[in-house]
């Protein structure tokens, strides 16, 4: 990292939640999580403080709106001694899940940022409002501190990518600045650095980011060649609440029936595992499948087949595959999911151990059985990657003496 001593506040905005994570270098000092709850028939927001040692403390206060979260977070961090004159902020990081050329790079927020956000509202109605709220509140609360938008596709928008275009009329592509930008870029960027650092780099690899959102990316000599997400994170794999890729006619019909914004919300927030099995928790779905619940079994099988299919597609496009990597919550923790996926890939030279523990001292685990190609389990650290890139950006923009 360019500078391990910088202090960053990392913001993660949701439609009804706000999380503030305070980092010194790559070490998380503390975090605050504001979330909405129902109290006496009215929505209130509560806050939980988590310290570096993992201990949690419920803040003895409630709020009627999320708009005050940034101001309250500043007050709490200062009261607890995490931010002060001797320990000031260097920057505030806001992750942006938005498409387009501008948002394929990281930027220090200026007036152009807000103009570009307005342009992508039509394709990103779920993410843009929270992003705008977070940026505006950050600038009002910390007017002297740089606010940096962190692209969720920056690590994937490289010349090595072979799947960036859509087969649409040129004038439509240009009007909406359409492209297969990809997402989960902070996770893949971290992996592109971590895999060679661990000495695990192989010529043809597939990284499976399986969590609440799911995607797969193929790396050729450590650089991205193909990725499953597209203009938005909706394309590609089914996940906890997303449909994944479906017949575009269905999207058009839903748009006609519900309106574009509601249709996009339905396909992103009310579909996927949740719609099929009644739960978006993979552990509950696995338990249901084991108890012969047909809905849970159908959802689980569709999920597994989706991941396997994308791995097979990328292996065919690369002309082979030398190693697999699993990361993110499901990828790192779910032995049944990894085993189900690998069971369908034995014809490609993969065979998995029944159980494998992550060696934290090594930073990864090889879940491959004897005679198998490598199957690595590597914890991701999206914040570490964002902090690295933000530090580099600030160092580049600081005036030289």
pLDDT in tens, 306-336: 999 999 999 999 999 999 999 999 999 999 9
89 in helix, strand or coil?
Answer: coil
Provide the pLDDT for residue 377.
95
Quote the Cα angle for 189-350-354, to 5°. Answer: 95
Is 357 a residue whose pLDDT tops 80?
no
Asked if residues 61 and 71 have their Cβ atoms less than 8 Å apart, the reply is: no
Q: What is the pTM of this model?
A: 0.92
Q: What's the whole-number mean pLDDT along residues 134-138?
A: 91
Find the length of the chain.
401
DSSP annotation of 4 reads T
| CA–CA separation, 221 and 230 (whole Å) | 22
Q: What's the whole-number mean pLDDT along residues 215-222?
A: 98
Nearest to 157 by CA among 237, 232, 224: 224
- In the chain, what percentage of residues exceed pLDDT 70? 97
Provide the pLDDT for residue 340.
97
Nearest to 191 by CA among 320, 367, 376: 376
Task: Band the pLDDT of 400: cuts 50, 70, 90.
Answer: low
Is 27 a residue whose pLDDT tops 80?
yes
DSSP annotation of 241 reads S
Task: Band the pLDDT of 1: cuts 50, 70, 90.
Answer: very low
Stretch (H or E) spanning 174: helix 170-176
Question: Which residue segments constitute the domains of the chain, with CATH numbers given?
Answer: 7-151 (3.30.420.40), 199-383 (3.30.420.40)
Better-scored residue on pLDDT, 234 or 40? 234
* 110 is an active site residue: no
Provide the pLDDT for residue 281.
96
Provide the pLDDT for residue 171.
97
389 in helix, strand or coil?
Answer: helix
DSSP of 29-83: EEEEEEEEEEETTEEEEEEEEEETTS-EEE-S--BS-GGGHHHHHHHHHHHTTSS
| CA–CA separation, 154 and 184 (whole Å) | 9
Which residues are registered as beta bridge partners of 44?
Answer: 37
Please state, rounded to an integer, the average pLDDT across all residues of the chain: 92
Provide the pLDDT for residue 4.
52
pLDDT single digits (tens) 52-67: 999 999 999 999 888 8
Provide the pLDDT for residue 209.
98
DSSP of 328-349: HHHHHH-HHHHHHHHHT-GGGT
Which candidate in 60, 152, 370, 395 is catalytic?
A: 152
Task: Band the pLDDT of 399: cuts 50, 70, 90.
Answer: low
Provide the pLDDT for residue 94.
94
Stretch (H or E) spanning 90: none
């Amino acid at each position: 990292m360019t500078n391990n001593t910088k202090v960053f506040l990392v913001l993660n905005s949701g439609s009804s939640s706000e999380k503030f994570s305070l980092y010194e270098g790559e070490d998380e000092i503390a975090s605050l999580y504001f979330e909405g709850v129902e109290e006496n028939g009215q929505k209130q927001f509560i806050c939980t403080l988590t310290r570096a040692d993992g201990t949690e403390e419920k803040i003895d206060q409630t709020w009627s709106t999320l708009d005050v979260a940034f101001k309250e977070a500043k007050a709490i961090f200062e009261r607890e001694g995490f931010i002060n004159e001797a320990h000031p902020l260097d920057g505030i990081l806001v992750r942006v899940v938005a498409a387009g050329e501008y948002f394929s790079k990281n930027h220090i927020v200026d007036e152009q940022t807000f103009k570009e956000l307005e342009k992508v509202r039509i394709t990103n109605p779920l993410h843009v409002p929270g992003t705008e709220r977070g940026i505006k509140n950050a600038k009002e609360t910390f007017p002297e501190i740089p606010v940096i938008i962190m692209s969720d596709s920056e690590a994937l928008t490289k010349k090595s990518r072979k799947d960036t275009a859509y087969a649409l009329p040129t004038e439509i592509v240009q009007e909406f600045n359409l492209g297969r930008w990809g997402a989960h870029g902070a996770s893949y960027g971290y992996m592109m650095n971590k895999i060679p650092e661990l000495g695990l780099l192989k010529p043809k690899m597939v990284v499976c980011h399986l969590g609440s959102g799911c995607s797969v990316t193929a790396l050729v000599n450590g650089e991205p060649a193909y990725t499953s997400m597209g203009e938005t994170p909706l394309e590609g794999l089914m996940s906890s609440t997303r449909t994944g890729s479906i017949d575009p006619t269905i999207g058009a019909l839903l748009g006609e029936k519900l309106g574009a914004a509601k249709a996009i919300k339905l396909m992103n927030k009310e579909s996927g595992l949740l719609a099929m099995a009644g739960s978006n928790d993979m552990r509950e779905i696995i338990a249901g499948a084991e108890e012969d619940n047909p809905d849970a079994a159908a959802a689980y099988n569709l999920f597994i087949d989706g991941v396997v299919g994308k791995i097979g597609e990328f292996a065919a496009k690369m002309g082979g595959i030398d190693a697999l990597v699993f990361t993110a919550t499901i990828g790192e923790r779910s032995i049944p999911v990894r085993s189900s996926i690998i069971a369908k890939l034995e014809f490609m030279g993969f065979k998995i151990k029944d159980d494998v523990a992550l060696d934290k001292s090594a930073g990864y685990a090889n879940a491959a059985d004897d005679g198998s190609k490598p199957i690595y389990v590597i914890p991701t650290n999206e914040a570490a990657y964002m902090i690295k890139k933000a530090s580099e950006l600030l160092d580049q923009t600081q005036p030289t003496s």
